[in-house]
């Protein structure tokens, strides 16, 4: 995931989300968390081991926060994953992102992440007639945060969960686990070694 650079004329280095005091981390912390959460959702389990490298190739973000973070993961189920995230794009407002999920019998490509197309290929017998399919989605616009009906539905579901006393499907524990993973990635980047992630209060 690559997004606009933190620099004068781009993402404003004075914004609190790019400062050590307020945010406490760079790209992996501020934006990477979204995709780490998405990865654990899709995988159905937590990351067990992480090995990361961070850098400041652009260099305007407050030290010691990173512009670039690259991390490799081993999940609890034995699968491997990686993230490459950076405040690297010179053109403000543009993002490049891609999620690729590889299984031994097929793979899925969601590019860009959040976009309307999902391409899936599979060698399983049910798919023998059409081993590669592209699913096209429409995202009707809606006002407010996120700009899409599905985002509004996400917020509406939380309202419903409170009214009906249901546990939301994403909880404070999920938030905590993502932060614990990010912390482990930063520790790995500092120490230059892989780190086992410890979860829980």
* Residue of the chain from 3, 7, 26, 29 that contacts another protein (CB under 8 A): 29
SS3 content of the chain, % helix, strand, coil (to 5): 30, 30, 40
Among 153, 140, 102, CA closest to 123: 102
Check if the beta carbon of residue 52 is closer than 8 Å to that of residue 95.
Answer: no
Range 105-110 contact pairs with CB under 8 angstroms and sequence separation of 24 or more: none
User: CA torsion sign, 146 to 152 to 154 to 155?
Assistant: positive
For residue 55, the surrounding DSSP H or E stretch is: strand 47-55
Single out the segment in contact with another protein by CB under 8 A; choices: 2-10, 51-59, 75-83, 188-196. Answer: 75-83
* Residue of the chain from 7, 35, 51, 85 that contacts another protein (CB under 8 A): 35
By CB under 8 A, residue 89 contacts another protein:
no
Rounded to a whole number of angstroms, the minimum distance from the CB of residue 166 to another protein is 8
* Residue of the chain from 55, 62, 74, 120 that contacts another protein (CB under 8 A): 120
Angstrom distance (rounded) from CA 103 to CA 83: 17
By CB under 8 A, residue 190 contacts another protein:
no
Single out the segment in contact with another protein by CB under 8 A; choices: 46-54, 56-64, 84-92, 110-118. Answer: 110-118
Single out the segment in contact with another protein by CB under 8 A; choices: 1-9, 47-55, 87-95, 97-105. Answer: 97-105
By CB under 8 A, residue 173 contacts another protein:
yes
Q: Tell me which residues in 6-25 interact with another protein (CB under 8 A).
A: 15-17, 21-25
Check if the beta carbon of residue 76 is closer than 8 Å to that of residue 45.
Answer: yes
The pattern of x and - marking residues 43 through 62 that bind another protein according to CB under 8 A reads xx------------------
Among 174, 200, 198, CA closest to 184: 198
Tokens 């995988």 map to which residue?
43
Q: In what order do the strands lie in the sheet with 117-122?
A: 99-103, 106-110, 117-122, 132-136
* Residue of the chain from 46, 89, 142, 194 that contacts another protein (CB under 8 A): 142
By CB under 8 A, residue 168 contacts another protein:
yes
By CB under 8 A, residue 163 contacts another protein:
yes
* Residue of the chain from 58, 178, 189, 195 that contacts another protein (CB under 8 A): 178
């Amino acid at each position: 995931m690559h997004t606009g650079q933190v620099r004068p004329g781009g993402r404003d280095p004075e914004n609190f989300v790019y400062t050590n005091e307020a945010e406490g981390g760079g790209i992996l912390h501020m934006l990477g968390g979204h995709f780490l959460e998405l990865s654990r959702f899709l995988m159905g389990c937590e990351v067990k081991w992480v090995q990361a490298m961070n850098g400041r190739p652009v260099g305007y973000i407050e030290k010691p926060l990173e512009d670039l973070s690259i991390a490799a993961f081993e999940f609890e189920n034995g699968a491997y994953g990686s993230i490459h995230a950076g405040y690297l794009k010179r053109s403000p407002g543009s993002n490049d992102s891609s999620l690729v999920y590889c299984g031994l019998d097929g793979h899925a490509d969601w590019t860009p992440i959040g976009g309307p197309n999902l391409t899936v290929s599979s060698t399983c017998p049910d798919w023998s007639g059409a081993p590669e399919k592209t699913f096209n989605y429409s995202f009707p616009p809606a006002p407010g945060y996120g700009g899409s009906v599905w985002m509004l539905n996400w917020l509406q579901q939380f309202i419903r969960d409170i009214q009906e006393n249901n546990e939301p499907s994403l909880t404070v524990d999920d938030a905590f686990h993502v932060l614990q993973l990010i912390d482990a990635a930063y520790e790995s980047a500092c120490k230059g070694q892989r780190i086992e992630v410890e979860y829980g209060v």
